[in-house]
Structure formats: structure tokens, C-alpha cells
Structure 1
């Protein structure tokens, strides 16, 4: 039999190893994501919105905590590409992004995007392909607007940092149109009190939004699979539809 003092030493050592193992597990069960700050009602500057609810809820189902860093969309992309965070909110899975990030199978949600104009100077067209050459169209730096936008070579794209700048430039007639996601446009036009001044023109595309995971992280494929599992569980018990209804019913 081992001496009692040696048993105590061994026991203390085993407890220390267990503690270190548990701490490592806790660290491994936290994912760090960049969340954009200017896309209400999906993700806002306070770190709230539908995307936060879906992502936090889905990861909680698979025992993963989410730590979100709220930054501009463009900054979030850079952080994820460099591996400074494990992933970034609300990306489209399209040709450009699929080469840069890891995506799961389950999207967060889909949402419609449209062209908007100043009702004082409407551009009357049947569809986006009929937009006149030289039309100045405001977009947000770093955003994806569908693969077809590159084919609209007649447009003069003006990049800005956020939705307030987009809308103000349109109000001042510094640009002719803007592209905004319809739920986002509704939020900001109401917030700025110009919902009667700025109107929807024609459809641009339907955005399918995902969490994009950094290729610099060796666990990216694992995280994508865990998010897929969590989202499926949210859908299975009805939580997903309840979260989505908080904006689609408005």
C-alpha cells in the first residue's frame, strides 16, 4: 500500500489534471464570431437581432457558447479571413465567398433584396436588367448582392459604409438608387422617418444567409456541422419558426 502522503500527492495531481481538462473543454466549447453592426433587424450595434437569436440558440443545442464581436461587416470579413475569429455572421454562399470560407448545409434564413429609389425621382422599369446605363447605385462595402450584379455592367456602383449613408445620399439625390434587403430597409426607413419618401423599385435577388467559418481554423468543418445540427433541432421543436416570426409578422 502506498504511504498516505504519497496518495494525497497523487490525488492532488489527478485533480489538477481533471481541472485542466475541464478548462480546456470549456474553452473548446466556446466559438468566437464576428457580428455585423448595421443590419437590423438581423444584427445591430447592440449585438442583438434575429441572427444572434438563431445562432446562439442553435449552438446552445450542441453545448457550444457563442462570443460575438460586433464590428462593421467589412471588418468582420477581414477578421474571419485572417483567423482572428472563428467565423462571421450573415454571408451568402455564392461563387466569391465559397472560395474563401467554410459553409455548412443549413442556412440561417433567406431574405429578399430590392432596388430602392427616391419617390421624387422614380425610375420606372420592369426589372433590374432595364435600369438605364450610368445609373448611380449605392451599395454597402463588402456586402454580397448576388452573382448577377456583376452582369449589370451599365450601373455605376457607389460603395458606402452603412445604411444611414445609403439613405441620406438617396435623399440628397447624390445617387439614383440603392440596393437594400427589404426587412432591413423597412427598419431603417421607419427609424429615419422617410418610409414615404424612399420607395421600392424592382427585385434584385433572394439572399440565402449562412454563418461563414474561417478556413484558418482547423475546427471549421466541425463547427459548421454542429451549427447544422443545432439549426435542425431548432426547426424540429418549432423554435426556429417562432424566432423568424418576430420579424416576418411585422
Structure 2
């Protein structure tokens, strides 16, 4: 009797073990990764319940495949460098460029599309059709940011005058004080920063040109320093697809858009 039950117990135990292995395999690694970004409200915001729209989307997509996310908040240049070195697992809301592709795995779909416009003082008459029209202006831009392929080409060729600064808020202060003339920046983020970091008297002196400088998709990047990230980015792609199909992505975005709207 004992000999009969012993192999039966082993078979049951093995079956249960195999079931849980398959279950864990289907939902992901059950691990935690660390991503870095700069406070960039409404997309990234440390004080928000969900850490901002982009963090909410990324966390929810990873949650669907059994991966947890912790966020490290720093400036953009540092976030990219830490991810490139493998100090952290990745960063997000970056354009896909030839310079970055050797160092990062990119998500298959963009997290969101960044619409960049030129911010300027209202008392400065400004109009532009091509970047040639901006040659006489001092343009402020964040360190490490890739505004557009054309902008970078003009910048590297010295065809436009660009001053690189680490902080968006500092760039807006410089714009208000006439220390720079133009600031290419995301439309929603720009007005969110003006509304939340400056008094009405100061924020009202800034406006934007309606013509977008660029509208480009931005992605999640995971460091190639960790080979496991190749599998994790595919897990994210799976979770993100489920998030889009469920309608949750649109729900999260609607919640952002129905909050206080930016006013040019």
C-alpha cells in the first residue's frame, strides 16, 4: 500500500510544481525593475498618486505581466546616463535615435507622442516657417534632449545658436528674464510647468508659436548592459498591448486631459 501511494504523491507534486512554473512563466518574472526620469508633469510627477501619466501606463503594463516598477527621479541627462551604464534598468519618454540604439532595447510601441513647440515671450514678435528663421535667436534646450533630427543637425553645424541647460524650470526662468529667446518644449508639459512653478504674473508673459517643431513618438528604453532586459522589454510590449486593448490607456489619458487645461 505504501509503495502504491508514494509514486502517486510524487506525480501529483510534480504536476503541481509544473503548473506553478507555467503560471509564473505566463505572467512574467515576478521581479522589480528600476526606471529613472525627471519630474515632467503631467507625464512624470513624483508627488502624484500614480507618479504621472507615463509612469501609470508603464507600471500598469508591467503589472499585467508580473513585473513591478520602482522610479528614481533625477534630471533627464542623468537618467539616460544611468540607464546607459546599467546602474538602473532603464528610462523612458525618449526618442529613438541611431546614437541610442546600440545601448538600449526600445519598446515596440511608443508610450506617447511628444508635440514640441517654440515657447517665447509674448512681447517678442516671432514667426517661423523653417529653422533658418530662428538663426538670429538664442535658443535654450535641455542637456541630453534630442529635439528633432533637423534641430540637432542645425545645432551641430552651428547654424543656430543653442544654449544647453539641465533644467526645464531654469530654461523658463531664463526665457522670462530674456536670457534666451526661444525654448522648444512639449506643449502640455510646458504649460503645466508654467502653471505650477511660476506666479500668474510671470506665466502670463509666455506663449507658444502654434506651429509644431516636431511631433515624435517617445519610448521606454531598457539598458543592454543587462541581457535579461531583452526579455523584459518583450514582456512590457505584451502588457502594453493588453493595456491598449482594454481601453485603460485611453481612460488614463482622458483623466489627464480633463484636469486643468493649459492656456496659451
- Could you say which TM-score interval applies, normalised by the shorter chain? 0.7 to 0.9
Q: Does 1:96 align with 2:99?
A: yes
The 5-angstrom pairing of residues 212-223 of structure 1 reads 212-223=221-232
Normalised to the residue count of structure 2, the TM-score between the two structures is 0.80
| Per-residue CA distance 1:130-162 (angstroms, 9 max, x = gap) | 424242101111122121112334211111121
1:13 is matched with: none
1:230 is matched with: 239
Please give the root-mean-square deviation of Cα atoms over the aligned residues, in Å: 2.6
Aligned equivalents of 1:150, 1:142: Cα separation in 2: 11
Normalised to the residue count of structure 1, the TM-score between the two structures is 0.84
Structure 1 counterpart of 2:178, from 169, 173, 176: 173
The 5-angstrom pairing of residues 139-218 of structure 1 reads 139-152=141-154, 153-191=158-196, 192=198, 193=200, 194-201=202-209, 202-218=211-227
Aligned equivalents of 1:112, 1:226: Cα separation in 2: 28
- Structure 1: give runs of 5+ residues left out of the alignment: 1-17
The number of equivalent residue pairs is 232
- Structure 2: give runs of 5+ residues left out of the alignment: 1-16
Question: Structure 1 stretches (4+) deviating beyond 4 angstroms?
Answer: none
Contact 2:29 2:66 in 1 (8 A): no
1:83 is matched with: 86
2:31 is matched with: 30
Compare the two structures and name the one with the higher strand fraction.
1
Q: CA deviation at 1:240?
A: 0.7
Aligned equivalents of 2:111, 2:203: Cα separation in 1: 27
Q: 1:156 to 1:31 in 2, by over 3 A?
A: farther
Aligned equivalents of 2:119, 2:130: Cα separation in 1: 11
Q: Secondary structure at the match of 1:98?
A: coil
1:3 is matched with: none
* Higher mean C-alpha displacement, 36-45 vs 224-233: 36-45
Q: CA deviation at 1:34?
A: 2.8
Q: CA deviation at 1:68?
A: 1.5
| Per-residue CA distance 1:16-41 (angstroms, 9 max, x = gap) | xx9xxx9xx9x952232333233111
Contact 2:59 2:69 in 1 (8 A): yes
Q: 1:132 to 1:109 in 2, by over 3 A?
A: closer
Q: Does 1:50 align with 2:58?
A: no
Aligned equivalents of 1:223, 1:169: Cα separation in 2: 40
